[in-house]
Chain A
Amino acid sequence: MNCNQVQKNIIGYIDHSIPEVLSADIEKHIGSCQSCALLYKNISATYNSYGKVSEIEVNPFFYTRLEQKLKNKMSPETVVEPKLSWRLQPVISGVLIVCGISLGIFLGKNLSVKTIAQNKVNRTELVNTYASEFYLTGTSEESLNTFYTNE
């Protein structure tokens, strides 16, 4: 019996599902091999660690709660547990309001800047158009002066 053989049969050794001869050999090896003894201790304690947990008691109000759950299920008008979408409604509304306000602020800012900028451009273009029409821009004034002095 070597360490590898012990490891291959360790669960069988723990839950007594291997032949007695094999079990006796493993026991002998574990008695003289520290590393296998430690491995056996750990695996055995872990493998059997569920036992105590499964002794967990059933809630004393199990039936009362079940009865209530069943009653709620049977009578559709009594809705104790509202649907997720209903429960989320105030949150969704809040988020929508915040989004709406943010969008409003964002659009308001951008549009007003754009409009002012656009208006400025438009006004400058308009003034230039009028000015050139009535010879009031620098270039037109110059050409007017040139025209008169040349005359």
Chain B
Amino acid sequence: MRTTDAELIQRLINSDGSAFRELVELYQSLVFRTCYNLIRHSEDAEDIAQDVFIEVFESVHQFRNESKLSTWLYRIAINKSLNHIRKNKWKTMVRSLEQFFGGDKTNNLDVEDKNSHNSPETIDYRERSQVLQNAVNSLPENQRIAFTLNKFDELSYQEIAEVMELSLSSVESLIHRAKLNLQKKLINYYKN
């Protein structure tokens, strides 16, 4: 744990008025992006990120100094995001359906027009993101967390192991399996 983090935590415990603002300004980007990379909806991610800081504010006394502050924030952000996803499965489904029906035909997995479907020129960036999001969302939860933290939050395997409280080899295995699953899904999508 860095000295600045330890000081910040201590000031928070001592009810230093400016400490909370400093903590938020220092870590809002990390927390928001972690939530966003799992939820993929900016308003919801912002809402969850705020809940993360509220939990930090309320339970700062419970913070164990043996882990880094960022590790603790990642854990809370992941748990809250996953809870949000679990609670709002229907909402996510509705959003996917909206994009599915409102968007381009190429987003349709069953589309018959193979030429336009396979042509990179006709599939724009947003649709590709949607395809990847659907594939990532279909991964088992632990694979999804490990893969997201590695690819989108750019955490090292060691950092992921700390956040997820797993061994390094478990993280390696999770990410390897996640990539194989994604590869299978993307090949199926683009070949059919």
Contact = CB atoms under 8 A, between A and B. Distances in A.
Interface of A: 7-8, 10-12, 15, 17, 38-39, 41-43, 45-47, 49-50, 52-54, 56, 58-59, 62-63, 65-66, 69-70, 73
B131 A46 contact: yes
A63 B46 contact: no
A69 B152 CA distance: 28
B183 interface: yes
Contacts of B125: 49, 52
B169 to A, nearest CB: 16
B36 A56 contact: yes
Contact of A39 (B42, B180, B190): B190
A39 B152 contact: no
A56 B24 contact: no
Nearest to A73: B54
Interface of B: 21, 24-25, 28-29, 32-33, 36-37, 40, 42, 46, 49-50, 53-54, 57, 118, 120, 123, 125, 128-129, 131-133, 151-153, 179-180, 182-183, 186-187, 190-191
Given A45-B120, A69-B54, A58 B132 contact: no
A42 B120 contact: yes
Given A54-B33, A54-B37, A42 B28 contact: no
A50 B152 contact: yes
B114 to A, nearest CB: 11
26 contacts: A10-B187, A11-B179, A11-B180, A11-B182, A11-B186, A15-B179, A39-B190, A41-B120, A42-B123, A42-B190, A43-B187, A47-B132, A47-B182, A47-B186, A49-B128, A50-B133, A50-B152, A56-B42, A58-B46, A59-B46, A63-B24, A65-B46, A66-B54, A69-B50, A69-B54, A70-B53
Contacts of B40: 53
Contacts of A62: 24, 28, 32, 46, 49-50
A8 B184 CA distance: 8
Nearest to B52: A66
Nearest to B183: A11
Contact of A49 (B29, B42, B132): B132
B160 to A, nearest CB: 15
B132 A50 contact: yes
A66 B151 CA distance: 28
A38 B118 contact: yes
